[in-house]
Each structure stands twice: as structure tokens, then as C-alpha cells.
């Protein structure tokens, strides 16, 4: 089976991990700050906080911005559930902003309309979480302008987008967001097996997240409520978690970062090749905004269901039967049973539902061979014509 995504682990990655296993530190050693500095340096951010998943990163990001009961967080329905769940962990409420039918990202126009209404009703969000779907940046300049006007904070869910650029600058550089979150799950662009990171320029947010990552404990006398009782002394000054990344994982991540530009270049090349060879099929191919240089986490085609005889399910099953591990990203979050219990229903965000009905993610990862890609294209052509 050709999967839709997979990691690429080099001999150098394996050496880096093995070296850590033989070192003094399996966790809380030097590899984590080194990895943080590499990612922050690559993206042009001041600080990075590495954690054990992007889900944890989103949770810490919300806590650092003071999200709590009575507050609201808005995100895109076309995302993995974690982008919304982070608000619920904090006791806040979630709402969604429908997508742009061209980019499948949060629509800036829909956001503006919803903010106008919310201002009238006195229920503006505290945080908006734009999700850079498939690796393409949202329209961050416009979202940032709305944040200035309506007073919300921005957490970019860039789980798909490390190595991508917006207006010629790396995603994660913090020009238009308070915080940027990356995921290092194996299907993402670079991996630590499980892992995530939050980037920010804002030192107080960085310090808060670093403390919350490790139980809310501080060893900094400046932050303590009392006097230090000796060199062993620490204080827990708030309720934190154990969201730490291990040194083993950070060593893998740092080694993978050395390949990031090659990985993204390969993904761009494969995406361009799909674009050329699928152009005449009854498919809507990914549309790229001129401001965006996608990291191409996913290559999503939308079946033009009115032009083909088969259903999406039939095409999906036929591809799987042919050994092609297609997938679907994403089931709109508001239609999940858990979110329906919170009051959302099918029909609430029609663009994301229309998109979902035809979407299909084709295999895309750096080691996908030309022959494999041709096989995917030929199989799809055979099924659709
Ligand atoms: C993968 C993903 C996450 C969660 O990442 P984990 O590292 O698995 O916790 C969150 N948001 C989006 C958009 C994702 O794709």
C-alpha cells in the first residue's frame, strides 16, 4: 500500500537518536533547547517551546493567552479536532468560521462578518485559531488587521506548514500571530514520532508555556512566592502538566530539521507534477494564493461529483483496493458527535461540508517515487474517465 503520507528517516537521524540513548540525558537534557533554537532560528521567531504533541502545544498556547471559562475561541471547521479541543480543555467555548472554497482555509470575509455580528451581540472571541490547511498559509495580514480592530489574539495552527512561507517570509516568524504551533507527528513535514512546538516573540508567553510544560514549577527566585530554602528548592506556583518532549525525540527532530528544506522542495516538486498530470480530469485541484508558498503537507483533490458516475466512497474504495492509501481531510469538526452534543449541526458551515463531500488526499511524501506517482495518476484517470 502506498500511504498518503509517511516519514523519511535517514541513517543520520538514527545515529542522532542512538547517540542520545548513550548520553547522560534521555529527557530534560541539552537536545530539547538545541531543537527549540533550530526551529525558532529557521522560522525567525525569538522563542520555541518543544512539547510532546501539537495538541499539548495548542493547550499551552491557549493557557498562556489566559483562555478560561466564559471566553470564546474560533477556529476552522476544516481541521483536525485538536484545533478546537484546546478551547474546551480550558473551559472556554468553541465556535467555527466557514472556509474559503478556493483555499479551504478559514475565510477572511466570513470571519469579518461573524466578528461584526459578535460585536453587536457582545460575544467577541478572545482567540482565533487560523489553520494553515495542507501547508498553505491563511490570509494572515487580513486576520491580523481584524485582530487589531476586534481585540482578539491569534494562535496559528501551522501543524501542516513548517517550511512554508507567506508573503516571502517563513511561516512561524510571528509577524501576524502571537503564537505559532507545529506538529511533528510522522505524517507531518518533519517528525519526532510524537511532538510539537510553539513559537513566539513574546518572552512572557514563552516563560509561562515553559513553566506549564513542567507542572507549573519554577526554580527562578524572581518568580517564587517565598525565599529559596536551598539549592534543591523549587516552587509550584500554578497548575501545570507534564508535556515535555524527550531528548531522544528532540535529537531526532534536530536531525530532521537539517532535511526540512529538501523535504519541502521534494513535496513542491511532486505537487507540481500532480498538478500537470491531473489537470484534464474532473477534479478541482489545489489553488494557491499568490502570497503563499505552501509546505504541501497534503495534496487534496476534490471530485467534481456532478461530472462523474461514481461516488466519493466508490472512488476511495477503488483506490484503496489498488493499493493506494488515499485519505480524507477533514470531516468538518462541528459534525462530530461530541460537537453536535454542544449544539452544532450539519448545515452550520456549508462550505466546509461541500468541500468535505468531494475531498480526497492523494499520496504525498518526499520518498514517493515517480513510478508510484504515475501509478496514482493512471489509476485515478482510469477510474474517472
Ligand atoms: C496533526 C494536527 C494536530 C495535532 O497534532 P499532534 O502532534 O498529533 O497532537 C493539530 N492540528 C492540526 C491541523 C493537525 O493536522
> What residues make up the domain containing 316?
260-384
Give yes or no for residue 52 CB within 6 A of ligand 1. no
For residue 196, the ligand 1 atom closest to its alpha carbon is 7
Task: Render pLDDT for 141-185 as a digit per residue (tens, 0 to 9).
Answer: 999 999 999 999 999 999 999 999 999 999 999 999 999 999 999
Q: Are residues 282 and 198 in the same domain?
A: no
Q: Tell me the average pLDDT of the chain.
A: 97
**Partners of 368 in the beta sheet?**
none
Centre of ligand 1 to C-alpha 170, Å, is: 19
> Which of 257, 281, 306 is the C-terminal boundary of a domain?
257
Give yes or no for residue 83 CB within 6 A of ligand 1. yes
Please give the backbone phi and psi of residue 349, each rounded to the nearest 5 degrees, phi first: -130, 80
Q: Residues of the chain with pLDDT > 70: what percent?
A: 100
Task: Render pLDDT for 15-64 as a digit per residue (tens, 0 to 9).
Answer: 999 999 999 999 999 999 999 999 999 999 999 999 999 999 999 999 99
Q: Are residues 199 and 306 in the same domain?
A: no
Give yes or no for residue 294 CB within 6 A of ligand 1. no
What CATH number is attached to the domain comprising 295?
3.90.1150.10
Task: Render pLDDT for 264-310 as a digit per residue (tens, 0 to 9).
Answer: 999 999 999 999 999 999 999 999 999 999 999 999 999 999 999 99
Task: Render pLDDT for 329-373 as a digit per residue (tens, 0 to 9).
Answer: 999 999 999 999 999 999 999 999 999 999 999 999 999 999 999
Q: Are residues 196 and 93 in the same domain?
A: yes
> Which of 257, 287, 306 is the C-terminal boundary of a domain?
257
Amino acid at each position: 500500500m502506498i500511504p498518503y503520507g509517511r516519514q523519511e528517516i535517514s541513517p543520520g537521524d538514527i545515529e542522532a537518536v542512538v547517540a542520545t540513548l548513550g548520553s547522560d540525558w534521555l529527557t530534560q537534557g541539552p537536545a530539547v533547547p538545541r531543537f527549540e533554537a533550530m526551529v525558532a532560528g529557521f522560522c525567525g521567531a525569538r522563542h520555541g517551546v518543544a512539547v510532546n504533541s501539537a495538541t499539548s502545544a495548542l493547550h499551552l498556547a491557549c493557557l498562556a493567552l489566559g483562555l478560561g471559562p466564559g471566553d470564546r475561541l474560533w477556529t476552522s471547521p476544516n481541521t483536525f479536532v485538536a484545533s478546537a479541543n484546546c478551547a474546551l480543555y480550558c473551559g472556554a467555548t468553541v465556535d467555527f468560521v466557514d472556509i474559503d472554497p478556493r483555499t479551504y482555509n478559514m475565510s477572511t470575509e466570513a470571519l469579518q462578518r461573524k466578528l461584526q455580528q459578535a460585536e453587536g451581540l457582545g460575544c467577541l472571541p478572545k482567540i482565533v485559531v487560523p489553520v494553515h490547511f495542507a501547508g498553505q498559509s491563511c490570509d494572515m495580514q487580513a486576520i491580523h488587521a481584524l485582530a487589531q480592530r476586534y481585540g482578539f489574539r491569534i494562535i496559528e495552527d501551522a501543524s501542516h506548514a513548517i517550511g512554508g512561507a507567506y508573503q516571502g517570509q517563513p511561516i512561524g516568524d510571528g509577524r501576524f500571530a502571537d503564537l505559532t504551533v507545529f506538529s511533528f507527528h510522522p505524517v507531518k513535514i518533519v517528525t519526532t514520532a510524537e511532538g510539537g512546538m510553539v513559537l513566539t516573540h513574546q518572552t512572557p508567553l514563552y516563560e509561562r508555556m515553559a513553566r506549564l510544560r513542567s507542572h507549573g514549577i519554577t526554580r527562578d527566585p524572581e518568580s517564587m512566592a517565598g525565599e529559596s530554602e536551598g539549592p534543591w528548592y523549587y516552587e509550584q506556583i500554578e497548575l501545570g502538566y507534564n508535556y515535555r518532549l524527550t531528548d531522544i525525540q528532540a535529537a531526532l527532530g534536530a536531525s530532521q530539521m537539517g532535511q526540512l528544506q529538501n523535504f519541502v522542495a521534494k513535496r513542491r516538486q511532486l505537487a507540481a507534477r500532480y498538478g500537470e498530470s491531473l489537470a484534464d480530469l474532473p477534479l478541482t485541484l489545489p489553488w494557491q494564493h499568490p502570497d503563499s508558498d505552501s509546505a504541501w503537507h497534503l495534496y487534496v483533490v476534490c471530485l467534481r461529483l456532478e461530472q462523474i458516475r461514481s461516488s466519493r466512497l466508490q472512488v476511495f474504495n477503488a483506490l484503496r483496493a489498488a493499493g493506494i492509501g488515499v485519505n480524507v481531510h477533514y470531516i468538518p469538526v462541528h459534525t462530530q458527535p461530541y460537537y453536535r452534543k454542544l449544539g452544532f449541526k450539519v448545515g452550520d458551515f456549508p462550505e466546509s461540508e461541500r468541500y468535505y463531500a468531494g475531498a480526497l488526499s492523494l499520496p504525498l511524501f518526499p520518498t514517493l517515487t515517480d513510478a508510484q506517482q504515475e501509478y496514482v495518476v493512471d489509476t485515478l484517470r482510469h477510474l474517472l474517465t
